[in-house]
Structure 1
Amino acid sequence: MDTTVLDLPAPTAARLRRPGWRDPRLLVGIALIASSVVLGSWAVTTAQRTVPVYVARDVLVPGAALSSAALVVADVRLADRVDGYLRADEPLPDGAVLLRTVGAGELVPVAAVGDATDLDVRAVPVALSGPAPSGLQAGSRVDLWFTPEPPTEGATEPGGDAVPRELAAGLTVAELSSPDGAFASGGARTAHVLVPVDDLPTVLGALAGRGTVDLVPVPGA
């Protein structure tokens, strides 16, 4: 059987056309790269940006007036948390006081500052019956206990038992003072304790009663 060989034309390779600058795919790629560079630069700049904020020079207790003398300025990196702290590039609020204890070296939170009318504690002087407990200072946390005097022999009125009872717990010491009125620590004779308004009748009644009111430091506070 005869066979016929046909000469078929050789296939022509398709040539890829180089994309021009108006090619949408090229424009989208350039836009994505530019956006990534800008976003990365913004993130690095934001992370490295410092903001001046106020830091407590010493322990600040509730009721203390907020003044520049009790504060120092520190430049810190806070990123998006800057609104939570008192900024040093803005004026201090007029007539502001501390609403809670701020430790020495701690950034001053905005929430810890307010008006005196917002305070729910009052400073009550408590005479120490002996040497001040070791480590007692402004900002310390203490419990108040009352020990009644035992009934005297031959008393005409029956007296109660001398069992100590707790008056209030977790109170903050505002300051310590000596008999001459100066602030003191080891030689302190009076501790000014911040007592919640609701506990004032109990504490003041015990201080006026026949017995002893003692401060008991809270461990670890």
Structure 2
Amino acid sequence: MDTALLDLPAPTAARLRRPGWRDPRLLAGVVLVAAAVALGAWAVRSAQETVPVYATRGVLVPGAAVGSDDLVVVEVRLPDLASAEYVSAARPLPEDAVALRTVGAGELVPADALGSAADVALRPVAVPVRSAPSDDVVPGAVVDVWFTPKPPMSSSGDGKEAKDDKGAFAPRTLAAGVTVAEVNRPDGTFAASGSAVVHVLVPQDALAPLLAALSADGAIDVLPVPGPAGR
């Protein structure tokens, strides 16, 4: 055996040094931990913060005056950007606020759903109907208004209605997709003989045919639009 190999000094194990406060690695770790704690605290605090906004007590229809009695204050958690989309309860309502579009009962009031009366392009019209309207015809519902003209009596004097081959007396739509503002249903002793009146919000370009039909000889029906569009 070669004795030269036996004379080599044994290697010494390097000792691990405890990092000091000035060690860059320790400082970087402290900074990361502090940042994580601060971020977590901010997230928890943000999740617990609420903002006061208005919600409706009942259905709001276009053109209806809106006051504090029509609304209720609710505390909700909303991101900063989303909170600007709703009417804040931290500020008073304008005195002349009106609804510009339909807002369902219990819903948060969107900021663009309120305005002034000058912004409303609809006009309320009271429409008496020949038969009791459907239970789906309620404030805020979307309906179609139909008119059925009454054919004139035949010239023979037999008391029969004249036939119309051209369909001039066929039912026709007066207003499609209009919103119901109010419904007056007869009750009590007048339920059998009285007729219901449905107040609908009509665009100005549809006013003329509807008003003409109201003064004409015939019958008017208000039919609810089925599906989500009618809510």
Residue equivalent to 1:114 = 115
Deviations 1:81-100 (A, max 9, x none): 22211121221123121111
Deviations 1:133-154 (A, max 9, x none): 3243211221111111112212
1:171-186 mapped onto 2 (5 Å cutoff): 171-177=178-184
Deviation at 1:14, TM superposition (A): 1.8
Judged with a 3 Å threshold, the aligned counterparts in structure 2 of structure 1 residues 188 and 109 are, in CA distance, closer, same or farther, namely: farther
Judged with a 3 Å threshold, the aligned counterparts in structure 2 of structure 1 residues 9 and 161 are, in CA distance, closer, same or farther, namely: same
Identity of aligned residues (%): 56
Deviation at 1:161, TM superposition (A): 3.0
* Structure 1 unaligned blocks of 5 or more: 180-186
Deviations 1:75-126 (A, max 9, x none): 2222342221112122112312111111111111112111222212111111
Which amino acid is 1:5 matched to? A
Instruction: Please tell me whether the aligned partners of residues 137 and 223 of structure 2 are also in contact (alpha carbons under 8 angstroms).
Output: no
- Distance (Å, rounded) in 2 between the aligned partners of 1:201 and 1:26: 82
Residue equivalent to 1:163 = 170
Residue equivalent to 2:50 = 50
Q: Which 4+ residue blocks in structure 1 deviate beyond 6 angstroms?
A: none
* Structure 2 unaligned blocks of 5 or more: 157-162, 187-193
Judged with a 3 Å threshold, the aligned counterparts in structure 2 of structure 1 residues 35 and 152 are, in CA distance, closer, same or farther, namely: same
Residue equivalent to 1:184 = none
Deviations 1:31-86 (A, max 9, x none): 11111111111112211222222111111101111100111122222234222111
Counterpart check, 1:133 vs 2:138: no
Q: CA RMSD in A?
A: 2.5
Deviation at 1:4, TM superposition (A): 4.3
Which amino acid is 1:103 matched to? G
TM-score, normalised to structure 1, is 0.85
- Distance (Å, rounded) in 1 between the aligned partners of 2:226 and 2:2: 109
TM-score, normalised to structure 2, is 0.82
Instruction: Please tell me whether the aligned partners of residues 131 and 195 of structure 2 are also in contact (alpha carbons under 8 angstroms).
Output: no
